[in-house]
Amino acid sequence: MPDAMTQAPHNTEAEQAVLGACMYHPEAVDAVRTIVDAADFYRPAHETVWRALLSLRGDGAPTDPIALGEYLTRTEDLNRIGGAAYLHRLAEAPATASGAEYYAELVRHKAALRRCRATGLRLIQRAGEPDADPDEIRGAAETDLREERERALASGAGRLSRHLTDGWDFITKAADTHPVWGTREQTAWSSGESLMLVGPPGVGKTTLAHQVVLARIGLKDSVLDMPVAPGKRVLYLAMDGLSTHGS
């Protein structure tokens, strides 16, 4: 069994499953690219195949083993990744389009562990130098860890992008919960969510808020031609005129 101190964390089977799923399910490429970067693959051959899949998908071309083999032949990478035989081996990996994201998360997790491991090894190396300075070592460690956190948030076509929703989607897409303002097909405010009215001064934010409140207490049926569900209890605090400066 490999020594955990010398073996870099990785999951070859998960990498193969991701690539295999993307070969036969091109739409899986779109989902996986928001989770992993090419550098997250431990095996260089897998990184090369992933870059090829991204290129083919970007061109709207098929991503099956035949198309992939042709692409890698043109880029002179086919032999480097193990030839056509290895491509077909990847294609046989037991993975579905729905499972691609799960395996991609495993790949990302192992890659993050490798980077943490690399940071630790650098600390050990620095601490063993004859003129090692503890303060400098701690500072370098903090910098490395901060950069890793920032990288984790920004990479994979934006880690945070997986949790963000286009603001217009709240209007154009059906709500998952009962709509307070609007319909399921066109929702401006859903039950359990906060509603924020944002804009420069003088554009009518307060007026619109008043209209929604009036509808919530049953004095209006709709606002902006969208129905508003009446509320059992409504607390409205109008504090636009309050000063924020102490005397």
When comparing pLDDT for 187 and 110, which is higher?
A: 110
Q: What is the mean pLDDT of residues 169-189?
A: 69
- What is the structure's pLDDT at 196? 84
Whether the pLDDT of residue 2 is over 60: the answer is no
Q: 66-75 as b/e, with b when 16 or more CB fall inside 10 Å?
A: ebbbebbeee
- What is the structure's pLDDT at 157? 45
Residues 6+ apart with CB under 8 A from 142: none
- What is the structure's pLDDT at 170? 52
Which element (helix H / strand E) includes 227?
strand 226-227
Joined together, the tokens standing for residue 190 give 């859903």
Taking a C-beta distance cutoff of 8 angstroms, is the pair 162, 34 a contact? yes
Q: Tell me the pLDDT band of 153, cut-offs 50, 70 and 90.
A: low
Cα distance between residue 97 and residue 247, in whole Å:
63
- Domain map of the chain by residue range? 12-159, 169-227
How many Cβ atoms from other residues are within 10 Å of residue 84's Cβ? 16
Whether the pLDDT of residue 12 is over 90: the answer is yes
Whether the pLDDT of residue 203 is over 80: the answer is no
When comparing pLDDT for 33 and 151, which is higher?
A: 33
| φ/ψ (deg, to 5) at 172 | -90, -20
Q: What is the pTM of this model?
A: 0.59
Q: Coil, strand or helix: which one is 76?
A: coil
Q: Coil, strand or helix: which one is 154?
A: helix
User: Using one digit for the tens of pLDDT, what is the confidence trace for 15-71?
Assistant: 999 999 999 999 999 999 989 999 999 999 999 999 999 999 999 999 999 999 999
Please say whether the dihedral angle defined by the alpha carbons of residues 35, 39, 40 and 43, taken in this order, is positive or negative. positive
Whether the pLDDT of residue 242 is over 60: the answer is no
Which architecture, in CATH terms, is 12-159? Orthogonal Bundle (1.10)
Q: Please, is 8 exposed, middle or buried when counting C-beta atoms within 10 Å of its C-beta (0-12, 13-18, 19+)? A: middle
User: Using one digit for the tens of pLDDT, what is the confidence trace for 209-228?
Assistant: 888 888 888 888 888 888 98
What region does 28 belong to: left with phi over 0, alpha with psi -120 to 50, or beta?
Answer: alpha
User: Using one digit for the tens of pLDDT, what is the confidence trace for 84-143?
Assistant: 999 989 988 877 777 899 999 999 999 989 988 988 898 899 999 999 899 998 888 888
User: Rounded to the nearest 5 degrees, what angle is found at the Cα of 143, between the Cα atoms of 142 and 145?
Assistant: 65
Q: Coil, strand or helix: which one is 53?
A: helix
- What is the structure's pLDDT at 80? 94
